[in-house]
Amino acid sequence: MASTKYTLASRVKVLSMPEQCLADGHTMPQIQLGLFEMSRAEASASVEAGLAEGYRGFDCAQMYDNEREAGQALQEGLARHGLTRADVFYTSKLAENSTSYDTVRASIRESVAACGLGYIDLFLLHSPLGGPAARWTSWRAVEDAIAAGEVRSGGVSNYGPQHVEELLQHSGLRVAPVVNQIESHPFNTRTDIRDACARHGIVVEAYAPLTRGMRIQHPAVTRLAQKYECTPAQVLVRWSLQHGMVPLPKSTKRARMAENADVNGFELSAEDMAALDAMDEHLVTDWDPTDAE
Annotated binding site for substrate: 126
Residue of 99, 91, 102, 96 whose CA lies nearest to 35: 91
Is 64 assigned a catalytic role?
yes
Residue of 224, 229, 227 whose CA lies nearest to 279: 224
First to last CA, the chain: 46
Give CA–CA dist 196/212, Å, rounded. 25
Give CA–CA dist 46/57, Å, rounded. 12
Residue 230 has phi, psi (to 5 degrees) of -140, -175
Give CA–CA dist 196/31, Å, rounded. 22
The β-bridge partners of 123 are 92, 154
Residue type for position 283: L
Contact 133, 104 (CB under 8 A): no
DSSP string, 33-70: EE-TT--HHHHHHHHHHHHHTT--EEE--GGGT-HHHH
Pairing label, strands 27-29, 19-21: antiparallel
DSSP string, 200-240: TTPEEEEESTTGGGSSTT-HHHHHHHHHHTS-HHHHHHHHH
With 0-12 CB in 10 A as exposed, 13-18 as middle and 19+ as buried, what is 274? exposed
Residue list, annotated binding site: 126
Annotated active-site positions, please? 64
